[in-house]
Amino acid sequence: MDSQRSGAIVGGDEAAPDTSRQNDVWVVVEQHDGVAAEVSLELLGRARELATRLGVGTGAVLAGAGEPVRALAPALIALGADTVYLADHEDLGDYLALPYTRLVAGLIRTHQPQIVLYGATTTGRDLAPRVASALRTGLTADCTDLRIGDFSAKGETYADLLFQIRPAFGGNIIATIVSPEHKPQMATVREGVMVMPGADESRTGTVVTVPVERSSAPVAPANRIVLTDADFAVRLVKRVQEEKRVDLKGARVVVSGGVGVGSRDGFALVEELARTLGGVVGASRAAVDAGWVSHEHQVGQTGTTVRPKLYIACGISGSVQHRAGMDQSARILALNSDPRAPIFSVAHYGIVGDLHKVIPLLIQAYRTKV
Amino acid sequence: MPFDSRLRRGLSPITFAAGGTFLVPYRFRYLRRWEALTDMPQLRIVVLVKQVPDTANVTGDAMKEDGTVNRAALPAVFNPEDLNALEEALRLKDRHGARVTVVTMGPPAAVQVLRESLYRGADEVILLTDKAFAGADTLATSYALSLAVRKLGGCDLVLCGRQAIDGDTAQVGPQTAEKIGYPQITCVSRIDELVAPADGAHGAITATRSIEGGFETLTSSLPCLLTVTGEANDPRPASVKLVMTYKGIAAEAMPEYDDTYLDPESDDAEVCMLGRDGKPVCRAKVVQWDHLALEADREALGLRGSPTRVKDIESVVLAQSEARMVEPDEAGVAMLVHELIEEHILG
């Protein structure tokens, strides 16, 4: 079984030990104009820890076009990468799913890392599944924790697997996922759940320049990345970064509304309370999905993680995914008509009642006190 | 004469639309001429949908005594963003004319999401159901779905929701695209433009996707797969007329793909109504395929074809509430606000 497994993954000499176990832990770094996504840097820190535990090295895949991207490589080494695979090509300037899949899948096939991590951003969640499908390997989305451990099933024990931990089922369960027989083990990881590593300028590492070519016909010479015209079936028309109007992360007070708010008009009450208290408007995913407020206000697993001095949850039942994004707040006030709503379990103060009556009371009480 | 028996006799209710009282055979000669006049290749859209437990609305009622969620108490629903995907398909159909085929994989009960697709205007629906599909992770799921799209002869556009609310992985869309070999645009909040395929040209689609702190607009040649978010639209409600037509429809195994029943000219067709363009619309069937119909490699299906394993599941147990409860009246709220200001929590 073991030789089969390594044979399938590593290829080549069947008598060789399972060398996939000795291979690196990788992070696919996301960057725009030479600025790396925070989650990619956070992942370098965790990759370093996982690699130390496994006794292997770390790799970072860095792709883009021109000097700003090349300049990023030393910073990745300082943050924990032993090897930076640098793919600098004019056609890689903008992230596009197909050419990046070609690149990342090609590098994985060549270098056989045992673990590959991606940020759970719109880019990471666009790229990683496509790569996983191309390599026919497993992928776990939106992990909140990663660990190394042993896994036993059907009398077989797999040592040192990546435990990929994530909420599922609307956040009502926490699942630990493993990918025992497929390499690499891949996961996307949510921003803000791993600690940003400190940069160590004295760290040394290697920058490997990845040869990338463009060809009109699909050819695949070994150890080279050849982007074909078909990889550019999609082209970027424009990318617009809006000024970040919502600063949830830096807010002292966050007032969030959920499905219990009932309507867009109801949400206006939440906004008024936030304005009155000098806070920022947050929302549960249900409120965003209902179209009452834009995604940039979303707090929780697929939104922003906040740690304000005061978090007021209005009509939010409190799924694990929402709670994951706010339970570190200094004080939490939950307002809900359902006394059994899970949100009360993380709240410091609870008010059971109709928020259409209670919010005006809060506004009035604050105005008269100040 | 009851409506259904008219259909069985191959008579068209076109006459209702015309306000007449006669029943006439639906095979009008002018239809052929009409077809000939509009000699355009029909746009083919496949929508991938999923029936999911309604995890978004876990109320106190669905919580067990031990603080975990009673999953069985959650009703099965049409995955919300898949409804958004279907709506985009139907809008494209309204604008450009298209055949909208909806595919789902699931237990036999998942036929309900196909019925609901028909209620909204889907033309053709396919249920992939087989014990061999059970336990599939996203990779094995996308394999089965990609085979279904292949069996349909491919299409111009595949649409699906960005993610399903039971798993929230957002992986099946991109993985299906990779397996069929289509490019992808994920997280689409708006379809800006569709250039339908014509005169040997493939056509193209331009769509806008949400990214962190902004958006980007991309153009893809067709065929292409798009995953659609809840921002894209408000899905239309079911049509009463279509509900009447399809409410009792059951799945039938049709391992050989044969869509002649959708051709008004065919003897198998039952015309049930007129489309917006005045063309007769044939009554759909719920086509059921198993792994043999898909000619699938069993090793790549279901649990066997799934690289990932669930090591363990921890139900989230909610701790006993430690919240200090405040009365929902003026005095209670005023005291709370006072306290928060005193403690410099509120400034």
The one-digit pLDDT tens for each residue of chain B (347 residues) are: 333 333 434 444 443 333 333 344 444 434 443 443 444 558 999 999 999 988 766 665 666 666 566 667 788 999 999 999 999 999 999 999 899 999 999 999 999 999 999 999 999 999 999 999 999 999 999 999 999 999 999 999 999 999 998 888 999 999 999 999 999 999 999 999 999 988 888 899 999 998 887 899 999 999 999 999 998 999 999 999 999 999 999 999 999 999 988 888 888 888 777 777 777 888 999 999 999 999 999 999 999 999 999 998 887 665 555 788 999 999 999 999 988 888 888 87
Chain A interface includes B219 (CB < 8 A): yes
Q: What is the 3-state secondary structure (H, E, C) of A230-260?
A: HHHCEEEEEEEECCCCCCCCCCCEEEEECHH
Closest approach of chain A CAs to the CA of B141, in angstroms? 11
Q: Which of A130, A243, A280 to mutate to test the interface with B (most CBs of B within 10 A)?
A: A130
Chain B interface includes A245 (CB < 8 A): no
* CA B103/CA A115 separation, integer angstroms: 34
Interface touch B346/A253, C-beta < 8 Å: yes
| B157 chain-A contacts, CB cut-off 8 A | none
Q: Which of residues 247-286 of B touch A (CB under 8 A)?
A: none
ipTM: 0.82
The SS3 call for residue A42 is helix
Q: Which of residues 15-44 of B touch A (CB under 8 A)?
A: none
First and final C-alpha spacing in chain B: 75
Which helix or strand (DSSP H or E) is residue A25 part of?
strand A25-29
Set out the domains of chain B in order of their start, with CATH numbers: 40-249+284-300 (3.40.50.620)
Cα torsion through A144, A145, A146, A149, rounded to 10:
-130
Interface touch B69/A348, C-beta < 8 Å: no
Buried b (16+ CB within 10 A) or exposed e, A71-83: ebbbbbbbbbbbb
DSSP B141-199: HHHHHHHHHHHTT--SEEEEES--TTT----HHHHHHHHHT--EEEEEEEEEEEE--BT
pLDDT of residue A189: 94
Are B330 and A361 in contact by the 8 Å Cβ rule? The answer is: yes
Nearest to B201 by CA among B182, B221, B183: B221
Chain B interface includes A366 (CB < 8 A): yes
| B50 chain-A contacts, CB cut-off 8 A | none
* CA A12/CA A9 separation, integer angstroms: 9
Burial of A201 (0-12, 13-18, 19+ CB in 10 A): exposed
State chain A's mean pLDDT as an integer. Answer: 89
| A153 chain-B contacts, CB cut-off 8 A | 309
Domain with CATH 3.40.50.620 in chain A: 2-232
For residues A63 and A264, the model is more confident at A63
* CA A285/CA B231 separation, integer angstroms: 12
- In sign, the C-alpha dihedral spanning B301, B307, B312, B315 is negative
A172-218 pLDDT, tens per residue? 778 999 999 999 999 999 887 888 899 999 999 999 999 999 988 77
| A174 chain-B contacts, CB cut-off 8 A | 313-314, 316
| Token pair recorded at residue B128 | 């992939």
| B139 chain-A contacts, CB cut-off 8 A | 132-133, 136-139
Q: Could you identify the residue written with the tokens 């003897």?
A: B267
For A235, other C-beta atoms within 10 Å of its C-beta total 13
Q: What is the pTM of this model?
A: 0.79
Of the partner residues A291, A295, A361, the one whose CB lies closest to the CB of residue B333? A361
For A242, other C-beta atoms within 10 Å of its C-beta total 10
- List Cα–Cα distances, A4 to A7, A12, A112, A178, B203, in angstroms: 5, 11, 16, 19, 45
* CA A146/CA A143 separation, integer angstroms: 7
Interface touch B328/A369, C-beta < 8 Å: no
Domain with CATH 3.40.50.1220 in chain A: 253-369
A9-23, A307-321, B132-146: least confidently modelled range: A9-23
pLDDT of residue B17: 39
Chain A interface includes B184 (CB < 8 A): yes
Of the partner residues A141, A174, A338, the one whose CB lies closest to the CB of residue B171? A141
**CATH classification code of A2-232:** 3.40.50.620
Nearest to B106 by CA among B150, B151, B147, B76: B76
Q: Which value, in Å, is the radius of gyration of the alpha carbons in chain B?
A: 24
pLDDT of residue B321: 55
Q: pLDDT above 70 covers what percent of chain A?
A: 91
Of the partner residues A121, A237, A277, the one whose CB lies closest to the CB of residue B217? A237
- CATH 3.40.640.10 holds for A253-369: no
* CA A208/CA A19 separation, integer angstroms: 21
